Amino acid sequence: MSRFSWDTIGDKEFSRFPLVSKRMTKQYDTVVVGAGTAGCYAAATIAREGYDVVVVERKNEEEAGHIACGDALKGADAFPEAIPKEKIQPAFTNTDVDHGRFEIPQEDTVLEIPVPGELAVIDRWEYGRRIIDGAKEAGAEFHYDTVVQDVTQDDDGRVAGVRAKRDGEVEEYESELLIDAAGSLSILQDKADFSDSTFDTNVTYSQFCSAYREVVHVEEPVEWDDALVFKPTSRAAGYLWYFPRTSTEINAGLGFQMNEEPMTLVEDLKRDLRNRPEFHGATVEDKLGAALPTRRPYDSAVAPGYMAVGDAAGHVNPTTGGGIAGAAYAGKYAGEQVIEALEAGDVSEHALWRYNRRVMDHFGSRYAGLDVYNIFTTAVDVDDLMGMLGALPTEKLSEALYSGSANIGWRLKLQTAIDARDHWRLIYDLYKTKKVADEIIDHYDHYPTDPRGLPAWQEVRDDLMDEVYATTGAAPKY
C-alpha cells in the first residue's frame, strides 16, 4: 500500500482549484501513468517482486481498458508471463485468421498474403479489463478518474512523480521511477524537462496517424472470417481495414498520416461500408477514434527517473499500426529495468539504458526498417503503388511487411520484372529504398551500449535517412 501525507496547497495552486484546500501526497516505488498494455505489463512485472506500484488512469473503472484498436494481435503465442496468457486468452475471439486479404480496386484484384506466426483478433475492451485484473492480481494498485496535469522533478532534473486531479482533489504521486504509458503524444513529455538527458524530443504530430474504428454486427457470416482485410484509401499512406472478431462481428476502421490533408474518417468509413454488400443491414455496436505513432521507436525512451513505453515511445509497427505485442514486451523490459534500478539504488539515465537496448534488439530495429517503407508510400501516387503491389510476389510482400526486409532470388526477380513491367521505375525506386532500409536495420543492430555513444550513432543513422529522402523524394519526417 502507499504511504501518504497532507500538504497545504500553495496560493498559485489554490487559484487553479478553488474548491480544494488540501493536497495529498502519496509515495510509491513506481508510478505508472496509463492502464493500457504497456502500463499493465510493466506494473505487473514490478509488483510481482513486491514493490509498491500504482497505475493512474484517467478513465473510470468501467471504461478503463476501452481503447480504440484494430483488435488484431500478432505474436499471441509469445506474450510476457507477468500476466499469464491464460488470463487474457478468453478475450481472443477469432484465432482462425492466418492471412491478409489485400483488396486493390484499381487493379481489380485481391492479394492473399500469409501472416507468419500466431494471430488472433480480440475483443479489445475485454482484453483491457483482463490485463488490468492481471496487474491487480500481481499486486499493483489502480487509481481511476485520475487526470495527470504535471510532472514533478527534483533540483537535479530527476523526474520525481506527477501531479494529478482525482475526484475533484489534487494529489501528488511521488516515486523513485515514473513509467510513461500515457499513449500517443503523451502530455507527460510536454511537461517534463528533458534538456539534460538523451530522451527523444524529436517528436511531432506529423509522425502520427489519426484513426477511427467501429465494431459492426452483420446479419450473415462474412466469407473472409479467416483473413485480415485491407483496402487502400484515396491516399497511399492510409488504408481501410476489416478485421473479423467473429464471422458476424467486424472491427472496421481506417486511418491516415497526419502530415497529409485530413480525411473525414467517419464519413469515409460509412461510404465504404455502404458499398459492401456484406454490411447491408449492419448495426454499429461501438465507435472510437485515436492517434497512434507511425514512426520509428524513440532513439532513447529514458531519462533520470523516467521511462516511456508502448505508444508513448513509438513502439508500434509503422506500416500496420500493430502495437499490442510490442507494448507488452516494452512493459516487461521497463519493469525488469525498474527492479534492477531500485535494487541498485540508481535511477540515472545510465542505469536505465539497458531498457533501450532490449527494445532495439527485440523489435526496434525492425520497426525502424519498416518506417522507411512508410516514408516511401508518402511519396508515391496511390494508383501506382497499388498497381505495383498487385504485380509483386505475395510471399515476399508478407516477409517485407512483418520483418522490414525481404530476400528475392534472381529467378523471382526476373519473373517480377516480367509481371510488373508497367511499374519498373517504381519497383526500381522500391529496390533502392529496400537497400537503405536494410542498412538502417543493420545500424540499429549496433545501437550504443550507453548514452555517451548515442550522438555518434544518431549521426550515422541520420545520414542514412538522408539517403531515404533522396531515394524516395519524400519530405523529411524527422
The pLDDT assigned to 194 comes to 98
Q: What is the pLDDT of residues 127-152, one digit of tens each?
A: 999 999 999 999 999 999 999 999 99
Low-confidence ranges of the chain (pLDDT < 70): 1-23, 235-237, 382-424
The pLDDT assigned to 399 comes to 53
Strand segments, DSSP code E, in 88-218 are 92-94, 99-104, 109-114, 119-122, 141-143, 146-153, 159-166, 169-180, 208-217
Q: In whole angstroms, what is the distance from residue 420 CA to residue 414 CA? A: 10
pTM of structure: 0.89
The pLDDT assigned to 22 comes to 52
**CATH 3.50.50.60 spans which residues of the chain?**
3-70+126-203+296-363
Cell of 377: 508510400
DSSP state for residue 474 in the 8-state scheme: P
The pLDDT assigned to 14 comes to 32
Class of the CATH-defined domain 3-70+126-203+296-363: alpha beta
The pLDDT assigned to 268 comes to 93
Q: What type of residue sits at position 91?
A: A
Structural domain 93-118+206-293, CATH architecture = 2-Layer Sandwich (3.30)
The pLDDT assigned to 6 comes to 33
**CATH 3.30.9.10 spans which residues of the chain?**
93-118+206-293
The pLDDT assigned to 208 comes to 95
The pLDDT assigned to 387 comes to 64
Residue 392 backbone class (left: φ over 0; alpha: ψ -120 to 50; beta: rest): beta
